[in-house]
């Protein structure tokens, strides 16, 4: 009996180990996107959107099988980066060359400037609350510094964090009481207390990586962080406290961003700048943004 129990323990230990040896799968065709392949985001029908398709300044739409096509072309001088949905038929885009946050109507395909802020270095990625408050990471790559902007539901901008490193991936906890942001060059992941009016306080370091870069970042419904490890060829999953839970190995090395979608919200899509395409993997928990889209869809 003891021998059987020991063998069962070893088997379960082995299975638990290999379950974390996770790798991504191909999703869209390689080479369709430029070296600025970014985004991504998923609509209520399961279509995936990503920026800089074939040339910079465009947004592509991909169906559930990864077939891509042009969706919209951005205004002259604009280049997209992070995408976030604000409701079922509206998404926002960080425009890093135009110093804008752009608004895209999914039905009419109309693209407008929602917010313009000359003080922005180059808006990189976006996080959004259920009430429509947007937070924008804003790195200065030349100086190795960065900041965070708050954009109100009316499109008014306000600087809420400054004198940081190269702020990049950004998201909000499921209870909307914590904002997370990472610094690509410094390899730090920070947490802030988030007030209802968008004010940030109690800045604290929750993790520092010893090597590799960081890019886009998203929360699941439990508050775990999924971080694109640019140059490392991984997606790292961290607990809300900053403990590395496991990693997913990607096919490409330059992982630039991530989003959640799929029928149950557990399908992750990632953009790869070295391969010019998207890859996919299954998460253990549904994503916060998928849960938000479920709420948007339920509204009449």
Report the CATH number of the 25-212+289-298 domain.
2.120.10.30
Q: Is the pLDDT of residue 10 over 90?
A: no
What is the reported pLDDT for 19?
45
Q: Is the pLDDT of residue 5 over 70?
A: no
CA–CA distance, 245 with 82 (Å, rounded to integer): 25
pLDDT tens per residue across span 249-289 = 999 999 999 999 999 999 999 999 999 999 999 999 999 99
Q: Is the pLDDT of residue 1 over 80?
A: no
Q: How far is CA 136 from CA 15, 37, 160, 230, in A?
A: 41, 18, 10, 19
Is there a contact between 92 and 103 (Cβ–Cβ < 8 Å)?
Answer: yes
Model confidence at 16, pLDDT cuts 50, 70, 90, reads very low
Is there a contact between 169 and 228 (Cβ–Cβ < 8 Å)?
Answer: yes
CA–CA distance, 54 with 69 (Å, rounded to integer): 10
What average pLDDT does the structure give for the chain? 93
Average pLDDT of span 138-160 = 97
Lowest mean pLDDT among 13-27, 43-57, 99-113: 13-27
pLDDT tens per residue across span 72-82 = 999 999 999 99
Quote helix, strand, coil % in the chain, to nearest 5: 10, 50, 40
Average pLDDT of span 226-244 = 97
Q: What is the DSSP code string of 59-80?
A: EEEE-TT--EEEEEEPPTT--E
Q: Is the pLDDT of residue 8 over 50?
A: no
Percentage of residues of the chain with pLDDT beyond 70: 93
What is the reported pLDDT for 6?
46
Model confidence at 38, pLDDT cuts 50, 70, 90, reads very high
Q: Is the pTM of this model over 0.85?
A: yes
Which strand ranges, in their side-by-side order, compose the sheet holding 80-87? 80-87, 90-95, 100-105, 111-116
Is there a contact between 236 and 216 (Cβ–Cβ < 8 Å)?
Answer: no
Q: How far is CA 135 from CA 95, 120, 198, 251, 278, in A?
A: 13, 12, 8, 30, 25
What is the reported pLDDT for 73?
98
Q: Is the pLDDT of residue 20 over 60?
A: no
What is the reported pLDDT for 9?
43
CA–CA distance, 68 with 138 (Å, rounded to integer): 29
Q: Which of 257, 267, 277, 274 is nearest to 214 (CA)?
A: 257
pLDDT tens per residue across span 98-127 = 999 999 999 999 999 999 999 999 999 999
**Other residues' Cβ atoms within 10 Å of the Cβ of residue 148:** 23
Model confidence at 14, pLDDT cuts 50, 70, 90, reads very low
pLDDT tens per residue across span 218-229 = 999 999 999 999
């Amino acid at each position: 009996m003891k021998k059987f129990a020991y063998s069962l323990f070893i088997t379960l230990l082995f299975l638990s180990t290999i379950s974390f040896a996770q790798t991504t799968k191909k999703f869209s065709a390689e080479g369709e996107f430029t070296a600025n392949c970014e985004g991504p985001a998923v609509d209520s029908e399961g279509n995936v959107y990503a920026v800089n398709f074939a040339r910079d300044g465009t947004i592509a739409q991909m169906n559930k099988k990864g077939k891509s096509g042009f969706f919209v072309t951005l205004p002259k001088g604009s280049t997209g980066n992070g995408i976030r949905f604000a409701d079922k038929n509206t998404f926002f885009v960080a425009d890093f060359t135009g110093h804008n946050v752009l608004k895209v109507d999914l039905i009419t395909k109309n693209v407008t400037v929602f917010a313009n802020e000359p003080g922005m270095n180059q808006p990189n990625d976006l996080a959004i609350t259920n009430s429509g408050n947007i937070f924008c990471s804003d790195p200065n790559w030349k100086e190795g510094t960065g900041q965070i902007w708050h954009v109100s539901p009316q499109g008014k901008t306000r600087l809420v964090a400054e004198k940081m490193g190269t702020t990049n991936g950004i998201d909000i906890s499921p209870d909307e009481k914590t904002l997370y942001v990472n610094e690509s060059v410094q390899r730090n992941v920070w947490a802030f207390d988030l007030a209802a009016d968008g004010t940030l306080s109690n800045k604290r370091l929750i993790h520092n990586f010893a090597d590799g870069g960081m890019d886009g970042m998203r929360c699941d419904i439990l508050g775990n962080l999924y971080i694109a490890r640019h140059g490392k060829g991984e997606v790292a999953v961290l607990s809300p406290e900053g403990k590395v839970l496991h990693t997913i190995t990607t096919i490409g090395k330059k992982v630039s961003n991530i989003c959640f979608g799929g029928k149950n919200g557990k399908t992750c899509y990632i953009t790869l700048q070295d391969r010019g395409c998207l890859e996919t993997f299954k998460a253990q928990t549904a994503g916060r943004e998928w849960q938000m889209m479920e709420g948007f869809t339920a509204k009449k």
